[in-house]
Chain A
């Protein structure tokens, strides 16, 4: 859902169709995905700096 949102610029309704799940699930997954991505990037940047 992150890739579809940020690199393919799909609206959430369309992502819900693609991954075959409710719109609210897409929103929740993106939210949690962002959090995990932020944590991963932070670790990555922290390690490189």
Chain B
């Protein structure tokens, strides 16, 4: 007979030793049963172990000596049942939390949608296209051209004389758009008479003569 040496720290021994209790209570599947039985047949340590476990298993539960075990089992059943209630309570709390979260998200979404709608509806009607630096003609009453040799002081004096304000320009031809308190011909004539001014033209429609 060929003997096979099985080291006690082998994986096979460790696994068989772990599964022995369930070999004894007969709940291992067919593959595990065959595997463990085969090992026990060759391993004296496991064989003794299995015998001790069978002895333990055969101890009657209704023996007066096993009364503490029954009490322990009853206590354990109570403990086993208790976590289920706790789990149920926990699940109920989580459910409440999830519902609350859902409501909060829904409210946030509604507020965001309302703000977005308000943003779009609050927009004023589309304004006409206006280029950068462009001045609406309606703001300018007259157009003035200063002399090429006019000084800044002369230009300021001319503007102050009629309380004019430059609202645009210079244009490509060097003219400035002016805003005047009144665009009467007399005012324009006074501006024309200023030393730095070359020409002034009204931008307002002339009344029919």
Contacts and interface: CB of A to CB of B under 8 A. Distances in A.
A36 interface: no
Contacts, number: 43
Nearest to A41: B56
Nearest to B66: A7
Contacts of B83: 20
B56 A6 contact: yes
A18 B17 CA distance: 22
Nearest to A27: B18
Contact of B17 (A5, A9, A11, A31): A31
A3 B25 contact: no
Given A10-B27, A38-B52, A5 B76 contact: no
Contact of A31 (B18, B27, B76): B18
Given A6-B53, A7-B69, A20-B83, A34 B21 contact: yes
Interface string A1-40: 0010111011110000011100000011011001001100
Given A10-B27, A11-B27, A38-B52, A5 B69 contact: no
Interface of A: 3, 5-7, 9-12, 18-20, 27-28, 30-31, 34, 37-38
